[in-house]
Every structure is written in structure tokens, then in C-alpha cells.
Homo-oligomer: A and B are copies of this chain.
Amino acid sequence: MSDLRVLTGPEVEQHGNRDSCWIIVHEHPGGSKIILKYAGKDATEAYEPIHPPDAITTNLPVDKHLGAIDTSTVVKVVKEVTEAEKQRQALMDARPPLDNIINMHDFEVVAKAVLPEKAWAYYSSASDDEITIRENRLAYQRVWFRPRILRDVSSVDWSTTILGQKSSLPVYISATALGKLGHPDGELCLTRAAAKQGVIQMIATLASCSFDDIIDAAAPGQTFFLQLYVNRDREITRKYVQHAERRGVKGLFITVDAPQLGRREKDMRMKFVDDGAGAKVQENQKDVKKDQGVARAISSFIDPSLSWKDIPWFKSITKMPIVLKGIATAEDAILAYEAGAQGIVLSNHGGRQLDTARSGLEVLLEVVVALRQRGYFPNPNFEIYVDGGVRRASDVLKALALGAKAVGVGRPFLYAFCAYGQEGVEKAIQIFRDEFEMNMRLLGAKSLSDLEPEMVDASALTQHVVMVPQDNLYQNTYQPLAVAQFRSTKL
């Protein structure tokens, strides 16, 4: 952007109309209406949390950049404080004290209350009927413990390494996008808490904070991984990866389950709230795209042609270990190993991509069997991670007993900082610690290496039970049993 000249506010104002915005509008994945709303004014406040910080450099050809702006001269859009916003603020003030937060669900319920509706919709949504996102959680509850007793568990240790890097927990902070929708400091809340607690953060391509801002905020020696959406323009990707390596990132997690971002209907419906009920005519194919919600709007640069043929190229541009994130079958786990990946993440993208895809935990079963059969596993140079649905240290221990090296946790940490900032994330990690201590003691495991498949009964994990039809007529006539009645009606 160094070759752009500085514009003044009044100069920009003159272009607040369709004609002078035309080219920019034509390129914007979110459609023209939103751009015209801010045309000729300072859109930074609306722009910042939605757009990856390098969005303009990445997506907009240099010849469309008009130059830098002298911000003191610009007309601000007057921000209305809506009733919803006032209530949100009141809820913020009434949050439970952080001391009262005792599990991951508590963060989620607070975040749900204090987040702007659109942010909650973007974060919490998943694809289609949201069956996979719930399956992710439920899969852990289909695995039961077989705890061992009378082992000296006066001290237990849940530290480990991930891709050879030290981690105080067998958990890493998985990549989630657009953190500034939920907190003004965005992903930096994660960075600072991770530093304090010795946890590894995976930086998202679509983070609200720029990659460099995050790295700049790091503590000395703090470890990061990088989550990568591969750009249609490979040169951009090459520069991004090599820059990350130079700045010390220790692992490259290439997302392979998102040639296109999923249809997340909660997110999509937010669009209609914005527009009001005015739109009536069915619009043509191209414009329909603007109804696809935040997720689709920000992801048009992702390359759907990415394939196994590209893996050697990645190995040629970086020495970072390469991990494929989004493996969903034993077949692809084998291909990943044979392609030279140092790890795989068994994941369905938090339920946000293909609905009714299986949970990572379930996939783990078949992957471990298949890799073992070929002698590829266990293997000090190939690690298996799982993500999706983890809310308890007991979940993590189940995945580790079944063969995972570590587990990625995304939304819970995201909700923690939306609700309480950096302190929330620290508290979340602390809760995990407390749970690890208790659960390892109760399982009879002094260290993570004591975890073994016999400590769980996973026989129900592959049972895919779904909603069952009810006999409504029978239910209409059956009278449920009652308990003893008190004499007064006060009970």
C-alpha cells in the first residue's frame, strides 16, 4: 500500500454514489448494498471485525486501491445505540463473577447473552440441520470409562508435546475466525492467555487480528501453529507461509475440508434481519450470494481445486511440519501419511461444513486401526489430533486413550474471551487443569502415557442413533405417574 496517495474526507465524500464506487462494488463478495451504505464515509468500525486484516492487500488488486486516508477529515457514520445494544450492555454488567464459572458451558451461556446477535450467529452456527455439530458433543458421551483403582495418584502429570513442542496440556487452541466480532482485542486475548498458561495457539487465516499483530504480542518462546486456507493465487499463499515460518511458527495446519465454506443457516438468517422485510423480488443468481452470511462473504478466495498434487509444493516452500486438518476417513489418513504429512487433524470443522459427517472421535477408531495395520502407527513422526465437541478434560482423556496425541479446542476458548477477555481464557485453561487432575486420578493414570484403549469402552461410539418417531396418539392418552402430593399447593 506504500504507493498509494493520502486522500481527504471531503474528497472521498464526492464518491459516495454508485458511479464512483462501481468497480469496488463489483468485486465485493458481500454484495453492493452494504458498500453503498458506507460509501464516502469511514467504514472502519463495520469493516474491521469482519475482514481479515490483510483482506485488501490479498483480495483487491493494487490498482483499485485509492490510497491512504487522513482520518481526521472523514465523516463518521453516527452509531446508533439500539435497544438490543443497551440490553446487551446491561447483561454485560450483570455477568456472573468469573469465580462462579465452573465449566465450559458457563462461558458459552454468558457469551450467548452478551454477544451481538450477528456475532453469536456466526460463531455458533453450523451447517444444514446442525446434526454434526451436536454429534461432535454426543460422541464423547458414547465412550464410557473403565477406571482403574489403587494406583498411587498423589501426583499426576498432564503435560505433553505437540509436534515436538512443549504444551502444559494435551490441548491446543484451535483456529477460529473473526475474534473481534466478540471482543475488541480479538484473538490477542488467546495469545496473552496462552503465553501465561503454556498452551499453543493456532493462528487462523481468517483471524480479525493480523498475523503480525498476534506474533508481536507473543511472549518470548511462545509457540504458535498456523491454520491455512489456501488461496487461489498460490503466490499469496507462498508468501504467507514463508513469512509465518520466518516469524517462528512451528507447524502448518492446512485446512483440507473446506473447498467451499458450508451453508450455515443461523448465520445466513442474520442477513435478513439486517435487510428488514423490504426485499421481495427473487434476485438473480449472482446477487443471491450476498444472502450467504458472514462465512461465505469472507471466504471466496479459498481454492476449491486444492488436491493431493499440491502437497509436494507445500513441502518445497517450507520446513515447518505439515499437518492436514479435516481428515474424515481411514483412506485419507493413509494418503496423508504417504504424502509425507507429519500429522492429521480428524475434524469436521466444528460441524460447519458437511452435515451428517461423523465426529472426529469416531473417525479416530478406524484411522488408528488402518494405520496400525500398515505399520504407520504408533510413530514418533506422525501424530493424530482430534477436534470438535470437547468440553471436558474427560473428553480429552478419551481421545488420548484411543490414540490421539492432543485435542484441539476452538469455540470454548472463543466464548471464554467473548465473555471475560483474556482472564476468561486463563480461567478456561485452569478449569481444564482442575479436571485433568481429578479425572486422571480417578482413572488411575499418573501421566498421559498411562492412558490406554482398555481404559474406555468405545463399543457404542459407532452407533448412529438418531431422533426417533413418537407415537403421538399414545402419548396423548398415557397419563404419567405422579409422586406423593403435599397437602398444600405450595410445592
Interface of A toward B, CB cutoff 8 Å? 87, 90-91, 94-103, 105-106, 108-110, 112-113, 124, 128-131, 134-135, 137-138, 141-154, 256-260, 262-263, 265-266, 268-269, 272, 277-283, 285, 288, 291, 303-311, 324, 326-329, 331-332, 335, 353-358, 391-392, 394, 423, 426-427, 430, 434-435, 437-439, 441-443, 454, 457, 459-460, 462-488, 490-491
Contacts and interface: CB of A to CB of B under 8 A. Distances in A.
Nearest to A90: B490
Contacts of A303: 154
A256 B457 contact: no
A356 B486 contact: no
Contacts of A438: 260, 262-263
Contact of A124 (B97, B141, B426, B479): B479
A99 B438 CA distance: 44
Contact of A138 (B335, B441, B460, B469): B469
B87 A476 contact: no
Nearest to A260: B441
Given A138-B466, A481-B129, A483-B477, A144 B357 contact: yes
Given A131-B141, A358-B457, 10 more contacts: A95-B486, A97-B280, A135-B469, A137-B471, A145-B356, A152-B305, A154-B303, A266-B481, A304-B441, A463-B463
A1 to B, nearest CB: 30
Q: How many monomers of this protein are in the complex?
A: 4
Contact of A280 (B98, B268, B308, B435): B98
Contact of A434 (B263, B304, B353): B263
B282 A96 contact: no
A468 B259 CA distance: 29
B441 A481 contact: no
Contact of A473 (B103, B331, B427, B473): B103
Nearest to A120: B479
A456 to B, nearest CB: 9
Contact of A130 (B138, B149, B335, B481): B481
